Structure 1
Amino acid sequence: MKLLAFLKGKKGAMGIGTLIVFIAMVLVAAVAAAVLINTSGFLQQKAMATGKESTEQVASGLQTLRVIGIHNNTSINYLGIYITPNAGSAPIDLNQTKILISDGSRKAVLQYKSTAFTDLSTGGKVSNISKDAWNLSGGEFGIIVVQDADNSCTSNTPVINKGDIVVLTINATANQFNLPPRTTVTGSVVPEFGAPAVIQFTTPATYLGDQSVVTLQ
């Protein structure tokens, strides 16, 4: 009974002070909610952008179809690397692509030369070294278009996409590579983003005079 009487005798706090405290609590809660909403929105957009970039990085890239060599009976003078984009890859700009290659004693980094370009999408002989694509100095590679349905790969904008096949040409002699028989060559074609195309082969045990073009990989 005394406890009940005690509780009945208590009155709730009233007045302007209580109102100020209440308003302050509401304002703090509103500010906190706004900060949380803005932060969550920013994180969501950041996560979406990162996910898109990660997907592009994983799915995109190049693959090596084959590698050919043109020799003079004693050493390989020219290399041709057939490449195509990976399945599901985003378009790849070969102007931003580098070739890293080594013969075991010398390494080179090659970049695209815009005048070393030949379009053979309508037919022609890739191994014809009189073509512009083979006119190279050290540190350069050229492009021969083999398949390009949408004409996306041009001399000034060499972009390849789904279904395109091009040959990256290298003047081995100009890069001071020594490629006699039984020489191991390694390297990669590194695009701006995505997986690189692997180069790895060993030159034949001998070069036949009646077969100037050999398949290396």
Structure 2
Amino acid sequence: MQRLRPSTEGTGEDRGQVGIGTLIVFIAMVLVAAIAAGVLINTAGFLQSSAQATGQQSSDSTTNRIQVVGITGDHFTDNSEIGVVDIVVRRAPGAGNVDLDKTTVQWIGPSGSYYQLAAGGADGNPDGRFAISTVQDNDGSQPVLNDVEDRFRITLDLGTDNSVGAEPFGEELPEGETATLRITSPAGGMTTEEVVAPKTLSGESSVTL
């Protein structure tokens, strides 16, 4: 007589095999979730750092600006043109320290657009170089504006005068003509001023622009 082997279907042995498979799948899911969480945390940290850096740069470019106190012109030519422009500057309210040696000046006048760097300052190939002198500087920080009371003079040499310590560029500014001055701090803060020459320079040694 043939003996039939008792069926194990639905017994505890089957349940044990199913339980081990489920456990393996569960562990795998936990590992995948942990790895994904780590990637998300690292990505979030990177994005946060990038956002903070971008926000700081935007803040610096807005607040770390140079404020123009006054602009004058002198060194008139025989053709009644202004040969030298002096710009007295200070730190804008709320700005941090501003290094004029790393500042860029753009002059847009009747004869064209010219970029200037400080004489002896940052390396580059500008159209000319402006000179820096002290008007007021209690702690000897020139060329860095590090105090609200600091006042420095930026001197631009238009044409070929070459006698004020600056490197000449472009052409002199004629009577009645207008130019645009853009001063950009190392942090990217830009100050724009319009320079207007008087309609007559006759009898003057220096004029306010």
Normalised-by-shorter TM-score class: 0.7 to 0.9
Alpha-carbon distance between aligned partners in 2 of 1:86 and 1:139, rounded to the nearest angstrom:
25
Cα separation, partners in 2 of 1:13 and 1:147, compared to 1, 3 Å: farther
Q: Does 1:173 align with 2:167?
A: no
Alpha-carbon distance between aligned partners in 1 of 2:52 and 2:11, rounded to the nearest angstrom:
56
RMSD of aligned residue pairs (Cα, Å): 2.5
What do the CA deviations read for 1:128-173 (whole angstroms, capped 9, x no partner)? xxxxxxxxxx7121011112233221xxxx2223412111011223
Unpaired stretches in structure 1, ≥5 consecutive residues? 1-8, 116-137
State the structure with bigger RCO (CA 8 A, min sep 6), 1 or 2. Answer: 1
Alpha-carbon distance between aligned partners in 2 of 1:150 and 1:169, rounded to the nearest angstrom:
22
- Counterpart position of 1:78: 84
What do the CA deviations read for 1:20-72 (whole angstroms, capped 9, x no partner)? 12221221222222222222222222222222222112211112221101143
Match among 120, 128, 141 for residue 152 of structure 1: 141
Aligned amino acid, residue 169 of structure 1: T
Contact persistence 2:103–2:185 (CA under 8 A):
yes
Cα separation, partners in 2 of 1:150 and 1:181, compared to 1, 3 Å: same
Cα separation, partners in 2 of 1:13 and 1:192, compared to 1, 3 Å: farther
1:17-166 equivalences in 2 (<5 Å): 17-72=21-76, 74-114=80-120, 139-153=128-142, 158-163=143-148, 164-166=150-152
TM-score normalised to structure 2 length: 0.75
TM-score normalised to structure 1 length: 0.73
What do the CA deviations read for 1:65-107 (whole angstroms, capped 9, x no partner)? 2110114372212110111221122222222222211331233
Unpaired stretches in structure 2, ≥5 consecutive residues? 1-9, 122-126, 161-168
Secondary structure of 2:94's aligned partner: coil
Alpha-carbon distance between aligned partners in 1 of 2:128 and 2:46, rounded to the nearest angstrom:
44
Cα separation, partners in 2 of 1:41 and 1:196, compared to 1, 3 Å: closer
Alpha-carbon distance between aligned partners in 1 of 2:46 and 2:25, rounded to the nearest angstrom:
32
